[in-house]
């Protein structure tokens, strides 16, 4: 698929990563366009988390390059909002209100400037959490808490939002609403979203572009045309792929 280079936000070329003597990722190349909604799927141990850590600048590739074309920098991390797996569980018992948690990202000193206060207010509005801003975070549902974490990230005005398994702590009834919310901020704010997920059925329905990672980049492109039986078999093995592919094409 040809991509207009003017719209490319992240460009990964021939990326490989080795830990000790073991290759975790091998010769991966892809482009992500500004404003795109991308899913990363693959088996446990396939390299998804390693790839995210490289995008964040927490790890450096053994070979290859990552270029941030959005800002003309080689380090993406200053323009990324990152929500790690199960972060919500980690802060749930923290005795703070919604607004206090969101404000923590903006705070450069003991008091917030007018500009920082406005950024917090805007982030609360964007995530639909204004009415709950005085609520203790321990009283929130899983979906509401994820919104707080996203609001916290939005205060930094990121170009890219990376979510690692964002619905693990959300019950089934809250998941659909949360995914609708992600689609809305992607559409309305123009923020590039990269979501790591084990739920390939959901990914197929939600994202516009999928990266299938199992050491190599097994496939990438629009979900319906990319996640074929052959591709899923290469990614997960025969038994799993047959079930998942049936689920994808019955929606």
Give me the pLDDT at residue 1, please: 35
Q: Residue 228: CB partners within 8 Å, gap ≥ 6?
A: 219, 245
Q: Which of 34-38, 76-80, 144-148 has the lowest mean pLDDT?
A: 76-80
Task: Indicate the pTM of the whole model.
Answer: 0.86
For residue 221, what are its two tokens?
Answer: 């492109």
Contact 193, 37 (CB under 8 A): yes
Give the model's pLDDT for residue 28.
96
Q: Choose the weakest-confidence range: 69-73, 83-87, 189-193, 225-229.
A: 69-73
Q: What pLDDT is stored for residue 210 in this prediction?
A: 93
Summarize the confidence of residues 199-226 as an average pLDDT.
Answer: 89
- Chain-centre distance for alpha carbon 105: 18
**Whole-number Å distance between alpha carbons of 189 and 29:** 27
CA distance 108 to 101: 14
What HEC string does 201-231 produce?
Answer: HHHHHHCCEEEEEECEEEEEECHHHHCCHHH
């Amino acid at each position: 698929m040809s991509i207009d280079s003017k719209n490319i936000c992240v460009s990964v070329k021939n990326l490989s990563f080795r830990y000790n003597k073991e290759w975790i990722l091998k010769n991966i190349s892809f482009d992500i366009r500004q404003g795109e909604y991308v899913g990363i799927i693959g088996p446990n141990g396939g390299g998804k988390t390693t790839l995210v850590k490289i995008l964040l600048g927490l790890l450096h590739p053994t070979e290859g390059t990552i270029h941030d074309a959005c800002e003309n920098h080689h380090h993406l991390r200053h323009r990324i909002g990152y929500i790690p797996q199960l972060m919500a569980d980690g802060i749930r018992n923290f005795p703070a209100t919604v607004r206090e948690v969101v404000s923590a990202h903006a705070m450069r000193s003991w008091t917030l400037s007018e500009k920082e206060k406005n950024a917090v207010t805007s982030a609360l509005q964007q995530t639909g959490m204004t009415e709950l801003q005085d609520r203790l975070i321990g009283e929130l549902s899983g979906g509401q808490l994820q919104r707080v974490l996203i609001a916290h990230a939005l205060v930094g005005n990121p170009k890219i939002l990376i979510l690692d398994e964002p619905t693990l702590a959300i019950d089934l009834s809250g998941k659909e609403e949360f995914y609708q919310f992600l689609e809305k901020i992607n559409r309305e704010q123009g923020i590039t979203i990269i979501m790591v997920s084990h739920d390939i059925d959901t990914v197929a329905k939600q994202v516009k572009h999928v990266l299938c990672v199992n050491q190599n980049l097994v496939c990438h492109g629009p979900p319906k045309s990319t996640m074929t039986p052959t591709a899923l078999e290469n990614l997960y093995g025969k038994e799993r792929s047959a079930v998942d592919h049936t689920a994808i094409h019955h929606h």
